[in-house]
Structure 1
Amino acid sequence: MITQITEHDLERLFEIEQSAHLVPWSMGILKNTQGDRYLNLKLIDQEQIVAFVICQYILDEATLLNIAVDPLFQGKGFGKQLLTQLIQQLTEKGISTLWLEVRESNIVAQTLYAQLGFNEVDRRKNYYPTPDGQRENAIVMARYL
């Protein structure tokens, strides 16, 4: 089941965030990405949140800021389900383009995005921090809705 994120979900989202990302967001960032200009969805399986997506939209453009799937539930198609639902809801809102950045090393995510119609548009040098204090390039991708 996919529904809107509520304030009561933030603790569980934070747990997923900490386990799913190399350099996870803080609780403060999670709290600051809620509100009127966000379309944030959670996926519930077996009565628990197992994945979420954070998306901000302004006028007719949206940016996928974060997507995370609990590592215990990865590889089951939950990320694809979430993104498909996000794209559908953004289209219904009249959004024309969905943008995202992805780590250059994250081939699994890049493959998923390509399957869903995203194309590489640019690269950002040294965009993402790494756990060892270095930086990693980002691939900028877009999908026209």
Structure 2
Amino acid sequence: MNAVLQAQASFRPMQESDLDEVARIEPTIFPYPWSRGNFNDSLKSGYECWVYEQQAQILGYAVLMLVLDEAHLLNISIAAPWQGKGHGRQLLAHMMDIARERGALNMFLEVRPSNQSALGLYESMGFNEMAVRRGYYPALNGREDAVLMGASL
């Protein structure tokens, strides 16, 4: 038998030393990216900031804010070369587990209606549309709405 072992991706808390790489990835996948400072502020605020990596290469990352029994997913991102391979699903499932472990009963997030792949992922993971936030996101020609989604944990 000739089996090739493939390294598994794993999760770990984001560290300040990750911020340069996270800030390098962010503008390659979003037209209006978070800044390095946004991620640094999230770390300093005690938010749940995680990286998803394989062989010391960051494939993705996420930021979760917890307030009482609610979790708000502020950012979830998979680097462009790794998209469409199930990594977003793995990272979202991990963040939902973290929220449950921290006592959250519900998780909320916003997503651009133009981001059909993200909408499909969230729906497949049990999120439902709750409302539309008008003009929430900056866009090339003004502003874009956000779909507010929620899931029971």
TM-score, length basis structure 2: 0.90
- Asked if 1 retains the 8 angstrom alpha-carbon contact of 2:135 and 2:146, the reply is yes
Percent identity of paired positions between Structure 1 and Structure 2: 37
2:95: which partner in 1?
A: 86
2:147 to 122, 139, 142: 139
2: CA distance between counterparts of 1:129 and 1:95? 29
Q: Deviations over 1:45-88 (max 9, x none)?
A: 23300100011111111110011111111111111101101111
1:27 to 36, 42, 60: 36
2:67: which partner in 1?
A: 58
TM-score, length basis structure 1: 0.95
Please, which runs of 5 or more residues in structure 2 have no aligned partner?
A: 1-9
Structure 1 residues 15 and 67 mapped into 2: Cα distance closer, same or farther (>3 Å)? same
Counterpart secondary structure, 2:59:
strand
- What letter matches 2:35 in structure 1? S
- What letter matches 1:103 in structure 2? R
- What letter matches 2:98 in structure 1? Q
Higher Cα radius of gyration:
2
2:117: which partner in 1?
A: 108
Aligned length: 144
Counterpart secondary structure, 1:117:
coil
1:99: which partner in 2?
A: 108
User: Bigger CA drift: 43-52 or 30-39?
Assistant: 30-39
1: CA distance between counterparts of 2:13 and 2:46? 13
- Structure with bigger RCO (C-alpha 8 Å, 6+ apart): 1
Q: Deviations over 1:12-41 (max 9, x none)?
A: 111111111121011211111114541111
TM-aligned CA deviation for residue 133 of structure 1: 4.6
**RMSD over aligned Cα, in angstroms?**
1.1
2:51: which partner in 1?
A: 42
Query: Runs of 4 or more off by more than 6 Å in structure 1?
Result: none
2: CA distance between counterparts of 1:105 and 1:128? 11
